[in-house]
């Protein structure tokens, strides 16, 4: 089978995740063991690679039982309560909170009045933002949840850094329509510029290929958003976590295949996917030839 395979040059770890992973690797190289509060990246393949090097993933309850050790704060950031717990338990923190997230946390902490955060409820980054708001934040995931907002009061709205810019704009528009005084709605554009640019580029990438293979961990919030973007622009888009999920029936002779992923998908995984497709689709030609002669060949 003849196909053309291209890896999206803009896919792969965002800068914040690159920094966190490199910091973890450097510490593991010298100490052979390191704790991280929550999965350092929402990608099982990459996480397994780091766990084999000695990374230990813990939750807040487990952290509360540690003492005199080192814990890495991932790019998502944490609420003030985590730093207080570290001081109480004499825990050294390696703070890898993304600089973009840190800036957003500071903006929210410095903002008075009603705060609305557009983001995924329970997401690690959003939990950190809510913590900075000290009980003044309302979290909305979509336009169906804007009823949580008090439209009679001024509103400052922020977005989780990895959300869809178009969806954020829609939510802001719907809130503005409901406001008693629309001029009191202050929109803070807090979506990461690197992520925002990825949306427009990925749309074009999806349109320019017959088939899209989107590689992402199932826990990745950003992955869900970007895959949906691919699917909107190309109905032959398929989301996978591992190579074993790829189906031969997705491809036709002469297809242009695009391989892309989330901000939590490492470049090595995209490269492995492209290499796998080249080998398997090429071998399919031989399999099909032998099937004509002998009447049997594998599905892929």
What DSSP string runs through 111-129? --SEEEEES-TT-HHHHHH
300 within domain boundaries: no
- Whether 155 and 183 have beta carbons less than 8 Å apart is answered as no
CATH number of the structural domain spanning residue 288 = 3.40.1010.20
State residue 115's pLDDT score.
98
In whole angstroms, what separates CA 78 from the centre of its chain? Answer: 16
CA distances from 187 to 97, 105, 108, 111, 140 (A): 23, 15, 12, 12, 14
Query: In this structure, are 208 and 279 located in the same domain?
Result: yes
199 and 174 in a single domain? The answer is: no
For the record, the structure tokens of 57 come out as 């993933």
Same domain, yes or no: 184 and 199: no
Number of domains, the chain: 3
- How far, in Å, CA of 22 to CA of 103, rounded? 21
pLDDT band at 300 (very low <50, low <70, confident <90, very high): low
Contact 54, 64 (CB under 8 A): no
Higher-confidence position of 57 and 279: 57
Torsion angle in degrees (nearest 10) through CA of 209, 269, 221, 250: 40
Query: Is 127 within a domain?
Result: yes
212 and 162: one domain? no
Answer whether residue 204 shows pLDDT above 60: yes
Distant-in-sequence, close-in-space partners of 49: CB < 8 Å, separation ≥ 6: none
Task: Let me know whether 246 and 266 are in one domain.
Answer: yes
Provide the domain limits for residue 174: 101-191
Q: How far from each other are the two terminal CA atoms of the chain, in whole angstroms?
A: 12
Domain containing residue 45: CATH number: 3.40.50.11270
Q: For residue 195, what pLDDT band results from cuts at 50, 70 and 90? A: confident
Is 80 exceeded by the pLDDT of residue 205? yes
Over residues 133-155, mean pLDDT: 96
Position 259 scores a pLDDT of 98
204 and 172, same domain (yes or no): no
Q: Is the pLDDT of residue 186 over 60?
A: yes
The residue ranking higher by pLDDT, 288 or 226, is: 226
**Greater pLDDT, 292 or 66:** 66
Please say if the pLDDT value at position 178 is more than 90.
Answer: yes
Q: Point out the domain boundary residue: 146, 169, 191.
A: 191
Asked if residue 28 is part of any domain, the answer here is yes
299: in domain: no
Q: Tell me what the mean pLDDT of segment 75-99 comes to.
A: 97
Instruction: Name the residue among 216, 202, 274, 286 with its Cα closest to residue 3.
Output: 274
Answer with the one of 97, 128, 147 that is the final residue of a domain. Answer: 97
Clarify whether 147 is annotated catalytic: no
**Closest Cα partner for 130 from 187, 78, 189, 74?**
78
Q: Is the pLDDT of residue 144 over 70?
A: yes
pLDDT for 1:
66
Q: Tell me what pLDDT residue 2 has.
A: 79
CA distances from 87 to 63, 96, 108, 300 (A): 12, 17, 23, 55
Q: What is the pLDDT of residue 281?
A: 79
Q: Which of 252, 222, 225 minimizes the C-alpha distance to 98?
A: 222
The answer on pLDDT for 283 being more than 90 is no
Structure tokens at 6: 């291209």
pLDDT at residue 188, as a whole number: 97
Q: Are residues 145 and 91 in the same domain?
A: no
| CB neighbours of residue 252 within 10 Å | 11
Indicate the average pLDDT of the chain.
92
Q: Which of 173, 191, 209 is the last residue of a domain?
A: 191
Q: What is the chain's Cα-based Rg?
A: 22
Active-site residue, from 46, 78, 125, 141: 125
Place of tokens 């990459």: 46
The answer to whether residue 201 is domain-embedded is: yes
In the prediction, which pLDDT does 280 show?
Answer: 83
Residues 111 and 200 in one domain: no
What percentage of residues in the chain have a pLDDT greater than 70? Answer: 93
CB distance 83 to 135 below 8 Å: no
Q: What is the pLDDT of residues 36-49, one digit of tens each?
A: 999 999 999 999 99
């Amino acid at each position: 089978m003849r196909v053309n395979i291209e890896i999206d040059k803009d896919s792969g770890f965002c800068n914040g995740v690159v920094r966190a992973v490199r910091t973890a690797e450097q510490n593991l190289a010298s100490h052979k063991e390191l704790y991280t509060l929550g999965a350092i990246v929402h990608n099982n393949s990459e996480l397994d690679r780091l766990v084999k090097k000695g990374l230990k993933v813990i939750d807040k309850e487990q952290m509360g039982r540690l003492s005199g050790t080192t814990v890495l704060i991932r790019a998502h950031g944490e609420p003030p309560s985590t730093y207080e717990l570290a001081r109480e338990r004499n825990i050294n923190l390696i703070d890898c909170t993304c600089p973009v997230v840190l800036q957003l946390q500071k903006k929210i902490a410095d903002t008075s009045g009603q705060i609305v955060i557009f983001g995924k409820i329970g997401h690690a980054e959003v939990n950190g933002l809510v913590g900075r708001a000290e009980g003044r934040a309302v979290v909305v995931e979509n336009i169906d949840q804007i009823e949580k907002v008090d439209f009679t009061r001024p509103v400052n709205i922020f977005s989780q850094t990895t959300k869809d810019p178009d969806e954020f704009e829609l939510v802001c528009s719907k809130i503005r329509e409901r406001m008693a005084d629309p001029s009191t709605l202050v929109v803070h554009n807090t979506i990461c510029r690197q992520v925002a640019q990825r949306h427009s580029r990925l749309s074009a990438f999806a349109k320019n290929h017959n088939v899209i293979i989107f590689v992402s961990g199932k826990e990745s919030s950003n992955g869900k958003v970007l895959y949906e973007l691919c699917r909107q622009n190309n109905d032959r888009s398929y989301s996978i976590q591992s190579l074993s999920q790829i189906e031969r029936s997705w491809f036709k002779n002469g297809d242009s295949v695009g391989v892309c992923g989330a901000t939590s998908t490492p470049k090595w995984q995209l490269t492995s996917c492209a290499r796998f497709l080249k080998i398997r689709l090429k071998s399919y030609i031989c399999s099909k030839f032998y099937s004509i002669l002998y009447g049997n060949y594998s599905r892929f």
